[in-house]
């Protein structure tokens, strides 16, 4: 990516944070905005959210068009969605307080350093997933249907089999019989 293109991209991110980002995260995410109004505001800015159950303190960063949340999903206080790449959350999911979903990744450079330019890797969460308080879902991860992530867990790899995953990195500790 050329220097000029990178500067324009970074300026665009800074401009979003100073304008629409303030509206989305400060105003819509505040305690005084009722859930139905918050839901309509997120949708107005381009998020595809099919549930009004997004509680106060949510931080949505990146293009709102990258955020998709299914009907019946419940997101507790202080949800953090860093949507450099698409984030898709299925139907009837439960997200505990301060859940963090991150989609940006920084590649290694030829000289062994780390690139300053983020690269997005999509996150997909299936239907009926439960994610405990302060769990972190890292870039490129897919969670299958009926997956439970324990509080405080760090999910660095796909968790496709229905069951309970805990730890850092999260590992399957209990399978769910179907």
User: Which positions are catalytic?
Assistant: 106
Neighbour count for residue 125 (Cβ, 10 Å): 27
Which residues have CB under 8 Å from 74's CB, separation 6+? 51, 53, 93, 94, 95
DSSP symbol at 97: T
Which among 81, 94, 96, 28 is positioned nearest to 56, based on CA atoms?
Answer: 28
- The answer to whether the CB of 82 falls within 8 A of the CB of 99 is no
Tokens 């399978």 correspond to 175
- For residue 137, give the nearest of 118, 159, 161 by alpha carbon: 159
DSSP structure class, residue 111:
T
Instruction: Report residue 85 as tokens.
Output: 């790449």
Which residues are CB-neighbours of 52 under 8 A, at least 6 positions away? 35, 36, 38, 39
């Amino acid at each position: 990516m050329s220097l000029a293109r990178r500067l324009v991209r970074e300026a665009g991110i800074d401009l979003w944070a100073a304008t629409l980002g303030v509206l989305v995260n400060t105003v819509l995410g505040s305690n005084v905005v009722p859930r139905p109004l918050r839901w309509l505001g997120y949708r107005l800015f381009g998020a595809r959210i099919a549930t009004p159950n997004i509680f106060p303190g949510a931080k949505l960063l990146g293009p709102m068009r990258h955020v998709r949340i299914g009907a019946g999903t419940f997101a507790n206080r202080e949800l953090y969605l860093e949507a450099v790449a698409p984030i898709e959350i299925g139907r009837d999911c439960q997200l505990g307080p301060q859940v963090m979903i991150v989609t940006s990744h920084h590649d290694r450079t030829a000289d062994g350093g780390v690139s300053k330019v983020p690269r997005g890797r999509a996150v997909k969460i299936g239907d009926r997933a439960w994610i405990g308080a302060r769990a972190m879902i890292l870039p490129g991860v897919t969670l299958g249907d009926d997956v439970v992530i324990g509080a405080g867990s760090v999910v660095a790899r796909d968790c496709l089999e229905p069951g309970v995953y805990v730890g850092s990195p999260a590992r399957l500790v209990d399978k769910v019989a179907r």
